[in-house]
Structure 1
Amino acid sequence: MTDYLPLPGTPIEELDTPCIIVELDVAERNIAKLQSAANEMGVDVRPHSKTNKSPYWVRKQIEAGAIGVCCAK
């Protein structure tokens, strides 16, 4: 497996497939909405890492206010 890392803005026609495409603004907005709702309810967020499978998104969730992350082996 190679480390394929296309730059943001790469035309879709030039992407190798299969390739995950993430709308960063939408994903970040969803993280903020979840954290805001949890804050309003007075509960902590500790998302499961299998949901996003990415240290990048785990860090984003912690930066937004998650108190940690759950994971299984």
Structure 2
Amino acid sequence: MTELWSGAHDSLARVVTWPAPDAYVLVDGLLLRALPTGVDAIPGRWVRLAFDPEQRRLLMTEAEPDDAPPNAGKQGAA
């Protein structure tokens, strides 16, 4: 599982659930668990993922405004 998480490092993801304390994010059709760090993990928000080898988990950080895919605001976009 660690290989999967580290493979998601620096990926753009979309928040699917509210954090409690973690949230689930969608990356290329795969649902992954990540810890919000300095970002409001509101469902639908685009975030950037980072793998923390010490904690052995994914952390989500704020995505740049121009990072979101071009169809991010369109109905039916994942």
Fold match (TM-score > 0.5): no
Could you state the TM-score of these two structures normalised by the residue count of structure 1?
0.27
Highest Rg: 1 or 2? Answer: 1
Q: Which one has the bigger helix percentage? A: 1
Q: Which one has the bigger strand percentage? A: 2
Could you state the TM-score of these two structures normalised by the residue count of structure 2?
0.26
